[in-house]
Each structure stands twice: as structure tokens, then as C-alpha cells.
Amino acid sequence: MPGWPDKRFTDLATVLKGSVPYGAGRRRGRVGAYRSSLIKVKSAPDPGLLGHARVVLDVADVTAPSLAEPRRRWVSVLVWLGVAPFGLWAVLRIWPHDLDFLWVQLVAFTPAVVVVSLVAPLVALVTRRWIALVVAVAVSGMLAAEVLPRAIPGTNTAVSGQPLRVLASNSEVGSVPPEALVGLVAELRPDALALQELTPQAVEGLRTAGLGQALPFYAGEAREGAGGSGIYARFPVKMTNNLDYGGFGQVKATVDRPGGAFDVVSVHPCAPVEKSRHWCWATGLDTLPAPDNTILLGDFNATLDHAGMRQLLNLGYRDAADTTGDGLATTWPVTWDFRGLPIPAVTLDHILVDQRTAVHGFSTHVLPETDHRAVFAVVTTF
């Protein structure tokens, strides 16, 4: 264009460049909706413009949206979907009631969920979702606070008296070889032994194997199937009740030990493997006696994450394993296999004592032909 000075061209180029600068559309936290270089200004000599430069605008397609924006939204959605289930789990875990049959089965695996929940903050960190990271860390911390204290030894009540040694085992419908159980009794020297799923054949087998030499007194109700329950003791024992719900007996007996008698319950509420058994499982736990110099031991079919177990602790019981810092020691299944399905092991077998009882030791022991570990504790009653 005649008479168009170079300065005007320079100003125009500057204006054009400044109107849509490089990287326009890039904002913090999002990928730009347009291509990074939207307008390019080129100059070239043009004889038709009397030696002045001509302006060539190379305009990019400013209307083409980037695919990165929806992709980032989906990443955020997936991150939050990874955090939400653990948050819900943490809330339901502290609920004062076992809400539903399915939840009763799931909540037993809370210790394993604590470990898995650590993936959520890691994913949020890698993807730079900072709010999700804060929430995920809080949720994992909440779950850990509900579980990890079991690995920390608690304080003991100062009690003077003779130590009491107690042992419990689920005999898997009487399948444990009598010689193996008698051998464990000889090793641990318990004053009382509580057996669950005790059958008449098992009682006879234990008699033949010589259990009476170490534990000569017996009270119980052996049955065919999984409903039998019995207590063997070093001292005279008298059966006072059988808390039977759904065909699962829980024998209660008084052991007349020199220096003071104490009560023992061979705990075994029905296993909540089907929805129809939810009531007998819950009732079996609810009807266990208050801790008046009483020891509850056996297969509770529940962990410390079940509301029913926490209610027992609120009554005034303490878990022997939790007191010694062994609360994360698992008892079932021994082989991490349930009906052909691999599952994490959980803690279903417990020894609960009065809070006024001192706990000096706790251990678990494997017996053949049963998927439950036997539990053993040394305590001193008040």
C-alpha cells in the first residue's frame, strides 16, 4: 500500500501478536481450549507495496477444542471415585450398629482395607489432585486410627493373685486329631480349655488320648455337627447355662479354682455365612454375660471391627490380644482360603476378660484339620 511506512507495519504486527499471544488459552489448572500458537505474523517484501512489507496472517483453527480438557475431568472423577469408598467404609466402621448382613461380612476385612486405602492418596499425589489428596490422607488416617492401636500394648491393671492360663480352639466339627490337641495342652498347660464344634466322637477321642490327665473336669454339650460346645478344666467345673441360638451352643460354666471361682463361656455364635443366619449371630453376641469375673473365649465369628464386639468391650471387657499388642494376629482362615476363594485372614477367635483382669501374654497356635488357630492367654483375675 503506497505511503504505508515500516513503522505502521511494525505497530500492526505488534498489535496482532499481542492480541492473541503465544500460549493463549493456557490457564492455571487446565489445558488450553485452543492450539498454543494461534496467530502467526509473517513479513515478506512485496514489490506491489513499493518496497514495503506485506502482512501475512496465518490463523490457526481457534475454534477446535482440545481433547485434553475432558480427559482431565475424567481423571478427577476417577480419583474421587477411588477415595469415596474408603471414606464410606471409615464412616460405617464407627457406626454403633452392624447395619446389614453384607456389611457384617465385609467389615471383618477392615485391617486389609487400611492397607489398600493407601493407594488413594498416592494416586491423588501422582495426578496432582490436591484436594482429593488431603481428603484421601484424612480417610486413610481415620481407618488407621481404628486399627493400628491393636498393635500397641495397653496398660495392665495391678492385680495380685495366681496367674490363670486359658486356651480355646474351634475343632472344626471334631476334626482336630485328639493327640494333637492333647499335645498342645501338654505344651501350654492351660487351667481351662474351651472347645467349639465339639462332637461326641471328639469327646471320646480326647478321653482316649489322655486329656483327662491334664484337665480331669468337663462340662458341656457335645453335638453332631457344628453346634457342640464344651469346657475342660484343671479344677472342678459346673455347667450353669447353654446360650443356644440357631443350634449353636455356647456353654457357660463356673470353674471352682482354689482362691476364687470364675466363670467361663465357650463362645460360638452361628457364622453369618447366609442372610438367614444374621439374627442368630447377632443374638448370640448380644446375650453374652456381663464381665463379672467372667472370661469369654472361643470363635466369636466377629472381629473388633464389628459393632457387636465393640459393645462387649463397652460393657467392661478387654481383648487379651489387643492388650498385649497382638490384636492384629489373625486366626481364620489359617490357609487364607475359603471355599476355594483366596481371602485375607481375619481375627475371629478371641479371649475377652474383665477390664480389672491383668493380661500377661497371648499367642495363637495352629492345629491340624481346622481352619481356625487356637488362642491362648495368661491372665490374673482380680
In this structure, of 33-42, 112-121, 168-177, the range with the lowest mean pLDDT score is 33-42
pLDDT higher than threshold 60 for residue 107:
yes
The residue-averaged pLDDT of 125-138 equals 97
- Rounded Cα distance, 166 and 312, in Å: 19
Q: Which of 64-73, 98-107, 143-152, 226-235 is predicted with the least confidence, judged by mean pLDDT? A: 64-73
Q: Judge whether residue 31 has pLDDT over 50.
A: no
d(CA 105, CA 78): 27
pLDDT in tens, 4-26: 444 444 444 444 444 444 444 44
pLDDT confidence tier of residue 67, bands split at 50, 70 and 90: low
Q: Give the SS3 label for residue 106.
A: helix
Confidence of residue 282 (pLDDT cuts 50, 70, 90): very high
Report the distance separating Cα 139 and Cα 106, nearest Å. Answer: 18
Across the range 240-264, mean pLDDT stands at: 96
Q: How far apart are CA 257 and CA 381, in angstroms?
A: 11
Higher pLDDT, 47 or 290: 290
Whether the CB-CB separation of 334 and 371 falls below 8 Å is answered with yes
164 or 70, greater pLDDT: 164
Rounded distance, CA 176 to CA 169, Å?
A: 9
Q: What is the pLDDT of residue 50?
A: 43
Q: 133-145 pLDDT, tens per residue?
A: 999 999 999 999 9
pLDDT for residue 246 is more than 50: yes
The whole-number average pLDDT for the span 249-266 is 95
In the chain, pLDDT over 90 holds for what percent of residues?
72
Q: Which CATH class is domain 158-380?
A: alpha beta
How many other C-beta atoms can be found within 10 angstroms of the C-beta atom of residue 72?
16
Model confidence over 371-382: pLDDT tens digits? 999 999 999 987
Across the range 233-248, mean pLDDT stands at 97
Share the mean pLDDT of the chain.
86
Report domain extents, the chain: 6-59, 69-149, 158-380
Measure the CA dihedral 345/349/352/358, to 10°.
-70
Per-residue confidence at 223, pLDDT binned at 50, 70, 90? very high
pLDDT band at 45 (very low <50, low <70, confident <90, very high): low
- Residues of the chain with pLDDT > 70: what percent? 82
Stretch 176-192: mean pLDDT: 98
Residue pointed to by grid coordinates 476334626 = 175
Structure pTM?
0.82
pLDDT at 52 over 70: no
Residue 68 in this model has a pLDDT that exceeds 80: no
pLDDT tier at 347, thresholds 50, 70, 90: very high
Residue 59 reports pLDDT greater than 60: no
Amino acid 166: pLDDT: 98
